Structure 1
Amino acid sequence: MDYRLPLFGVAFVVALGALVMPEKFMTVSGPAYAIDGDTLAFEDDRVRIVGIDAPDAPEASKEVSGRVLQGLVNDNGPITCTKAKFKACRNPARSYSRHNLECRFANGDSVGLTMIAAGYAVDYRMFSGGRYQEAMKEAARAHRGLWRTDWEHMVALAKQRSQLDKGC
């Protein structure tokens, strides 16, 4: 019996399934390392932590937020990332070859909320629905993290990321 045809059929169905519903049921989990303050790399995937934005400039702030995220991952891993369950104006499945997912530490705490509460990222309202606004305001009031060392850039980033597009 020729098994090539049935194997081809199975491979085709799997590939088609990946095209039709790639992100809807997406879960990425396991050991991870920080690319920067809002992106994690897993063995085969990169994940943008949805709803937050860590500084890309100045370079020193970008490096600090990435190191903080890496420390949190080291202390609280493994990480599990899934499709965000909160409402937002926009929630694209991918950006810049990364999955946009909500991530949690092994104890269930939100990675995004932890980064914002520690002062190393801001609420990205268009993608968070404002979910992290209060934690960000508290981090700023308490001068935590980059709010202490890079106030002007964090204020500018927070203002920029609090804006909503028309129709949101």
Structure 2
Amino acid sequence: MQYKIAMTRLLAALLFLASPAMAQTVEGRASVVDGDTIEISGERIRLNGVDAPESWQRCADGGGEEYRCGKDAAFALDDWLAASRPTRCEFVERDRYGRMVGDCYRADGISVGEWLVRNGWAVDWVRYSSGRFAEAQDEASRSKRGIWRGAFELPCEARARRVKRKAGC
């Protein structure tokens, strides 16, 4: 009887450790959920240290015309990831929604987060990145790429305003 209990516990522990939630890396074909979230093999992954406009978020281009910058960010990410598959994500932590937070890379080794920031489709979220993408953000801003070509609200501020709470970005 104790043998069965021990084997059941061992099997449960092995299944727990082998589950995607506990994996140190996840690799496969990435589906874009939004500008800073992807899904690989059923695992939602929030890109570490970056914040992209929400899918509903609007920005203004250089001429002051509104456009759906969150949608554009997601489409740009999808196109870019499709050019070099698979995508590999290294586990950092779980967020409050249960998503894996990870540092992700295309098959060619390029950082997904850095590419998003360098091309102006996300901002360096210093609260989580410790400024890791500051140089890429400066380049995007100087070159007026992506959201930097006009006016935009920081994604964390847009989310806070939408739910009527203090930003705390």
> Which has the higher mean CA deviation after the structures are superposed, 6-15 or 33-42?
6-15
- Name 2:84's counterpart in structure 1: 76
- Name 1:112's counterpart in structure 2: 113
Task: With the length of structure 1 as denominator, give the TM-score of the two structures.
Answer: 0.75
Partner amino acid for 2:11?
A
1:11 to partner: Cα distance: 2.5
Corresponding pairs, count: 146
1:7 to partner: Cα distance: 4.7
Alignment root-mean-square deviation, CA: 2.8
From the two aligned structures, give the one with the greater strand fraction.
2
CA distance in 1, matches of 2:107, 2:15: 31
After superposition, what is the alpha-carbon deviation per residue over 1:7-56, rounded to whole angstroms, capped at 9, x for unaligned?
5233232256579xx65x62111111111110001112010000100011
- Name 1:130's counterpart in structure 2: 131
* Structure 2 unaligned blocks of 5 or more: 59-66, 158-167
Task: With the length of structure 2 as denominator, give the TM-score of the two structures.
Answer: 0.75
Match of 2:28 among 27, 30, 35: 30
After superposition, what is the alpha-carbon deviation per residue over 1:147-166, rounded to whole angstroms, capped at 9, x for unaligned?
12xx221xx31896xxxx7x
- Name 1:88's counterpart in structure 2: none
Structure 1 pair 159–53 and aligned structure 2 pair: CA distance change class (3 A): closer
Secondary structure of the residue aligned to 1:135 is: helix
What's the % identity of the aligned pairs?
Answer: 30
- Name 1:87's counterpart in structure 2: none
Match of 1:65 among 48, 73, 85: 73
Structure 1 pair 42–158 and aligned structure 2 pair: CA distance change class (3 A): closer
